[in-house]
Copies of this chain bind each other. A is one copy, B any other.
Amino acid sequence: MQDYVVKNLLQVQDITETVMSAQGFSEAQAAAIARNVTAAERDECRHHGLFRVAFYINTLRAGQASGTCMPELSDLASSVLRVDGKYGFSPLPLEIGHKALADRAREHGIAALSVNNAHNVAALWPEVERLAEEGLCALAFVAAAPYVAPAGGNRPLFGTNPMAFSWPRPGGLPPVVFDQASSASARGEIQIRLRDGKSLPDGWAIDVHGQPTNDPQEALQGAQLPFGGVKGSSIAMMVELLAGPLLGDLLSFEAGEKDKAKTGAPCGGELIICMDPAHFVPGKDREAQLRHSERLFRKILDQEGTRLPSSRRYEARRRTENEGVRIPKVLYDNLMLLREGGYTTERQTYEGDHIAS
Contact = CB atoms under 8 A, between A and B. Distances in A.
Contacts of A240: 296
B78 A109 contact: yes
Given A137-B246, A228-B232, A241-B293, A305 B77 contact: no
Given A228-B231, A237-B309, A238-B165, A245 B277 contact: yes
Contacts of A108: 77-80, 108
Nearest to A74: B282
A152 interface: yes
18 contacts: A77-B279, A80-B109, A108-B108, A109-B112, A110-B112, A137-B242, A137-B246, A154-B304, A180-B231, A210-B305, A227-B229, A241-B293, A244-B292, A244-B296, A245-B292, A245-B296, A248-B280, A248-B292
Interface of A: 74, 76-80, 82, 107-112, 114, 137, 149-155, 157, 165, 167, 176, 178, 180, 210, 227-232, 234-235, 237-238, 240-242, 244-248, 251, 253-254, 273, 275-277, 279-283, 288-290, 292-293, 295-296, 299-300, 303-307, 309, 357
A79 B300 contact: no
The oligomer's copy count stands at 2
Contacts of A153: 300, 303-306
Contacts of A210: 305
B273 A150 contact: no
